[in-house]
Structure 1
Amino acid sequence: MTEFEKMIRGEAFNAIDVDLRLRREAARIACAKFNAHPSKGNLRHVTRLFSAFDSAVIEPGFQCDYGSQIHLGKNVFINFHCVFLDAAPIHIGDDVLIGPAVHLYTVDHPRDATQRASGECHAKPIVIGNKVWIGGGAKILPGITVGDNAIIAANAVVTRNVAPNERYFG
């Protein structure tokens, strides 16, 4: 089984694997093409990486690891300089507002230094419900689910699941 297949299955994987590095490089190039000359035409370089894309506005500065595990619903707005590390799926519902410099991290590293040095990683999905508003600078950690209509405060670090309609201040 390849490291990519392990990653997709949610198993521990080696992030320094050559195939995974090439996939991240392809995503960086796609993002760079869009970010250098933001336009609807150049946005296709990014959105064709995505697993699901309906209708979204993505402002320049967007970065992702692979893109292949990003699922966007309808009417999603992603503001400037957002980072989506998608070693595991990132599901974003409909009518979601994502503020500037929001980071979504699905990937995590071992706490043991020897394992970490070997390149071993694991990842957990992030699920963001419908009509969620994530304030600028917020960070959402691996394995988090944000319920429908929730509001995440600017600069919050989301370390636990957020219930529907909840206002999370971190």
Structure 2
Amino acid sequence: MTDAYNEEVLARIAEGLVYTESEAAFQSSRRRTEQIFAYNHTPPGEAERRRSLLLAIFGSVGERTVLLPPFHAGFGSNVHLGDDFFGNVNLTFVDDVDIRIGDGVMIAPSVTLTTTGHPVHPSRRVDFGRFSEPIVIEDKVWIGSNVVVLPGVRIGYGSVIGAGSVVSRSIPPMTVALGTPCRVVRDITDEDLTTRMAKSDHDDDREGDRVG
């Protein structure tokens, strides 16, 4: 394929239009499959090797990054991690386009961040027809266990996503959101500064406290 053809495909991908596996095959060199395998099989004590592998896998990596293996990524090179990131086991990045994660983000076990979906009509899924839209997770977000974040979603600063949620639309900053589909249940306020630190009679009754 010519450079002009590849640029045309990339433009369609950037617009969120349908493209096929064959059309996107020229991007295969950006997949970090071998490095991901190596990371997932690196002993816990080899912190420097793990760090060097993360730098080789991801598009950018902040300081003090913790990512517990195993993790999975379609490319790896389309993922950008901020400072003080913590990712628990079985984190999956479907990163056909960018996934950008800010500083101080915590992600619980078995979370999937998928930038890619497929058309509803089967005739449009020939040759793995698909569309992709970037995901943005802003600073200081906490995502609970078994959450799925779908294409094009932005999760705002400081927000919390409850365990088991399917996030199909963007979530505003400083809110607790949960459910399938994920919806905001309340704001995060200064009252939450005492939650779990000073026991009171109403602590067990607050909707959205048990999210992880």
TM-score (norm 2): 0.72
Alignment partner, residue 192 of structure 2: none
Structure 1 residue runs of 4 or more that deviate by more than 6 Å after TM superposition: none
Q: Deviations over 1:126-169 (max 9, x none)?
A: 11011100011111011101000100011111111111011011
Distance (whole Å) between structure 1 residues aligned to residue 123 and residue 51 of structure 2: 40
2:173 to 164, 167, 170: 164
Instruction: Determine whether 1:45 maps to 2:53.
Output: yes
Counterparts in 2 of 1:98 and 1:149: CA distance versus 1, 3 Å: same
What percent identity do the matched residue pairs reach? Answer: 30
Structure 2, gaps ≥5 residues long: 180-212
1:104-123 to 2 correspondence within 5 Å?
Answer: 104-123=113-132
Q: Which amino acid aligns with 1:133?
A: W
Q: Which has the higher contact order (CA 8 A, sep 6+)?
A: 1
Q: C-alpha root-mean-square deviation of aligned residues, in Å?
A: 2.0
Alignment partner, residue 60 of structure 1: 69
Distance (whole Å) between structure 1 residues aligned to residue 101 and residue 168 of structure 2: 18
Alignment partner, residue 27 of structure 1: 32
Bigger radius of gyration: 2
Give yes or no for contact 1:139–1:156 (8 Å, CA) kept in 2: yes
2:21 to 15, 32, 45: 15
Distance (whole Å) between structure 1 residues aligned to residue 105 and residue 50 of structure 2: 22
Give yes or no for contact 1:99–1:136 (8 Å, CA) kept in 2: yes
Alignment partner, residue 79 of structure 1: 88
Question: Deviation at 1:34?
Answer: 0.7
TM-score (norm 1): 0.88
Q: Which amino acid aligns with 2:153?
A: I
